[in-house]
Chains A and B, each alone.
Chain A
């Protein structure tokens, strides 16, 4: 085909050939399409599920949070002088912890001092857990202020008599909806409500219960207010200090330094407990492995499925194709030319088929993820695999008859059974 060496001329010829054989072309494109769609669908659905599980894990388990909690070191008998001299976990530990060299991996710190107290408003009077909070507690726990304002650094530093309520607490103590600026009594301490948190809501699936409902019950005040005004504790002891370290490996190093720091702060008494980072690391890794295996398995199944569809379609038209190639060779088409024509046809079909396959695959996984109530995540890898599949099956199987025919003499191709 001397004049049609130009690619566009070849493409035109390929288009003519495809149009001449609409049924076969459609089936072949269908093979590519289904293959691509199933790979894309399989990968996206499993990836969506995986990401959702990770999201749940991150939000519920909080693998990026390192907690320090006080422990009771006196198991039997009376506490020694050393025990009495120790103050337990206190604000100082949190502040010093933020200064160790590896603390640069920490991106937020939160402290909490909780107490049980009677909370009274003009509408309600209940025993409640009161959370004395400090530092980054609010963002670290995913709270957002919806009405009024949050705590200022000044509020925390001075232990200001102010409170921010969770949505449930707000509706219990102030059912009229007028909340900000209202007085509240916590134990014997009169405070002013300065804000309300946005309602926290998280469900594994749509229609299931809100696993964060308890978080909306929060009554938050500055930790210093609880420590100093309510409990008369001048050392500002805490129930828990939490450091958020996004990088788990950095967390391991930080955890070691923090442990020795707090130990020396506490006169070498380990009267505190640190989360076990090593275990967490191990768990995260093994979980990742499981997901990768599931992910690969479903992808491989999709590849095999899509491939089988394609092979069958190609084989069904093999005889017809070989004879056609025989005719073309008999009237002077060189084998190379037939090859190139097949390549161009396959390219065109692969493009058309995989474009349609992408759409179908995305639509399919959208429907599935929607029906199981998981947000759709499209894995970039799935596009790579799907394209690879399309190319392999589009080309390999389109070329097979051409290769088969061109290895024969035209006479043999014409007689092909």
Chain B
């Protein structure tokens, strides 16, 4: 079954006079275990599409099936549950809670999912080890470098073993070396069977993906499938 299936997805910001048509009919199908790079010029609607795919926002029109379930008409509570269990979202600006410890940041999605305390803690520690920062559990995000913060964000995104990992320019705020490390982590997660969809501006990064979807002006301009070189 496909993880993502959208048909005629549209998004309009604002109303009447100053309406912005950010998406103008997106048809996109992503299968389980795919690694997709979403590219396109600034303002083409990449972030808008990602936030709808991540159930952070609702489309203005069209349909969206996530893991076989139509989500465009779900209630807020159901969407929250989907974000919690099915989707791991990684933001360009990390979006960690600045005053919660790293451990708590990673534990929070599990808290919302009702994972018992002990298990929550153990899984959070395991995840921190998996993303390569096992010794930072009790510090605040402010004490970490950008690359380390993005690893925490990835650990948090993985907390409830989501079906889909979405990342909107995850390396955008990082220097190229750190960016490469974070990308390596995504590749590794993909290798372990995760479905990954990431937005990037960097053609070199896009080139490493087996599939590239290019947006232009709210529409899919190109959808190329090719093996990484």
Contact = CB atoms under 8 A, between A and B. Distances in A.
B81 A332 contact: yes
Interface stretch (B23-31, B96-104, B131-139, B169-177): B96-104
A329 B80 CA distance: 7
Interface string A373-417: 000000000000000000000000000000000100111101000
Given A328-B108, A330-B89, A332-B160, A2 B80 contact: no
A329 to B, nearest CB: 7
B97 A324 contact: yes
Nearest to A12: B117
B111 A410 contact: no
Interface string B115-130: 1100000000000000
B121 to A, nearest CB: 13
B58 A409 contact: yes
Report the interface size class on chain A.
Answer: 20 to 34
B114 A1 contact: yes
A337 B113 CA distance: 11
A3 B57 contact: no
Contact of B80 (A20, A326, A327, A334): A334
B77 A331 contact: no
B109 A331 contact: yes
A407 to B, nearest CB: 10
Nearest to B93: A414
Contacts of A414: 56, 91, 95
Q: Which of B80, B91, B116 has the most CB of A within 10 A?
A: B80
Sorted nearest first, the 4 A-B pairs with minimum C-beta distance are: A332-B84, A2-B114, A334-B80, A411-B57
30 contacts: A2-B113, A2-B114, A3-B115, A3-B116, A20-B100, A21-B99, A327-B96, A329-B83, A330-B83, A330-B89, A331-B83, A331-B108, A331-B156, A332-B80, A332-B84, A332-B109, A333-B84, A333-B108, A333-B112, A334-B77, A334-B112, A335-B77, A337-B80, A409-B56, A409-B57, A410-B57, A410-B83, A411-B51, A411-B56, A411-B57
Given A328-B112, A336-B77, 15 more contacts: A13-B111, A20-B104, A21-B99, A327-B95, A327-B97, A329-B80, A330-B54, A332-B109, A332-B113, A334-B76, A335-B76, A409-B57, A410-B56, A410-B83, A411-B56
Interface of B: 51, 54, 56-58, 76-77, 80-81, 83-85, 89, 91, 95-97, 99-100, 104, 108-109, 111-116, 156, 159-160
